[in-house]
């Protein structure tokens, strides 16, 4: 395991990469900056003075087209996650302070396990539970790394109000995502991905103090460096996910199909 003081290193001998769509054209090449150093936290704000761990970090040294909004969505789909059901989010967004000078900022996007169906699978996750994560981008004036901090957790079904699974829903959710990322190359919509993982200690606390739902964590964050491994640039072909905005995969639903799925969701919500 690598201490975060060794992970957070400036590679000053290389020129900065441009990510103009997110105002990152002048950012330094960093894996990430510790939120703790900038007065932030590795726990987001889940309300009531409690937080959920930012337990996976997508390194700022990942391929630039992984770190955009559309890029992280496409990568997530290669791991079996996608947009929320009908792109509808129930409940308040959670914020995080990444110590980058932006202060507390709401999640950029929330993605759910899709059970092999990127279009409709997350509707099943909303009903029966599964893995999911929130995304936060470190791009403020004090730490413009472009790294993505993920709050990953495994949750219960809608009848349990999506509470985090006992006894270790945060660590388990992290481990499931990392296992999917590192089992071999992953692929979605023209992009082939390779991920290398490193465990990082010293950022997150150990135990349940301050953790939402009083669920203990082991204090490990996982740093993923994700590379687009294609021999050619998939974005050169103009695929939609290369744009800065997250795109959806929602084919037209018949009125009957939409009504059935909506009724199922409402029925489970009332249990």
Where in the chain are the domains? 2-270
Residues 6+ apart with CB under 8 A from 67: 19, 22, 24, 58, 60, 137, 146, 147, 148
Task: State the alpha helices, DSSP H only, in the chain.
Answer: 4-7, 69-78, 121-128, 169-182, 255-270
Average pLDDT over residues 183-197: 96
For position 137, what pLDDT does the model report? 98
9 φ/ψ angles, rounded to the nearest 5 degrees: -125, 140
pLDDT at residue 248 tops 90: no
Q: Between 154 and 243, whose confidence is greater? A: 154
The pLDDT of residue 249: 45
Nearest to 213 by CA among 98, 97, 53, 90: 53
Q: What is the DSSP string of 121-166?
A: HHHHHHHH-EEEEEEEE--BTTB----EEEEEEEE--GGGTTPBPT
* Confidence tier at 242 by pLDDT (50, 70, 90): confident
**223, pLDDT greater than 70:** yes
Asked if residue 55 has pLDDT above 70, the reply is yes
Region 159-176 average pLDDT: 86
- Tell me the CB-side half-sphere exposure of residue 52, using CA atoms within 13 A: 29
Tell me what pLDDT residue 162 has: 62
């Amino acid at each position: 395991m690598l201490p975060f003081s060794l992970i957070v290193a400036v590679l000053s001998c290389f020129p900065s990469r441009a990510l103009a769509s997110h105002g990152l054209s002048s950012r330094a090449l960093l894996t990430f900056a510790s939120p703790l150093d900038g007065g932030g936290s590795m726990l987001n704000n889940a309300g009531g003075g409690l937080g959920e761990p930012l337990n996976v970090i997508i390194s700022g040294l990942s391929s630039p087209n992984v770190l955009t909004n559309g890029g992280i969505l496409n990568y997530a789909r290669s791991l079996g996650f996608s947009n929320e059901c009908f792109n509808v989010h129930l409940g308040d967004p959670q914020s995080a302070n990444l110590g980058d000078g932006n202060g507390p900022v709401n999640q950029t996007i929330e993605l759910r396990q899709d059970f092999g169906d990127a279009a409709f699978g997350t509707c099943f996750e909303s009903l029966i539970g599964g893995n999911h994560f929130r995304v936060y981008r470190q791009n403020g004036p004090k730490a413009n790394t472009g790294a993505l901090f993920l709050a990953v957790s495994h949750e219960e079904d809608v009848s349990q109000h999506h509470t985090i699974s006992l006894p270790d829903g945060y660590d388990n959710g992290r481990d499931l995502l990392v296992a999917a990322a590192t089992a071999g190359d992953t692929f979605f919509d023209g992009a082939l991905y390779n991920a290398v993982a490193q465990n990082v200690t010293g950022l997150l606390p150990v135990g349940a103090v301050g953790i939402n739902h009083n669920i203990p964590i082991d204090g490990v964050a996982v740093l993923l460096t994700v590379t687009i491994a294609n021999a050619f640039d998939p974005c050169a072909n103009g695929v939609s996910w290369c744009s800065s905005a997250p795109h959806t995969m929602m084919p037209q639903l018949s009125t009957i199909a939409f009504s059935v799925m909506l009724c199922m969701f409402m029925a489970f919500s009332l249990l």
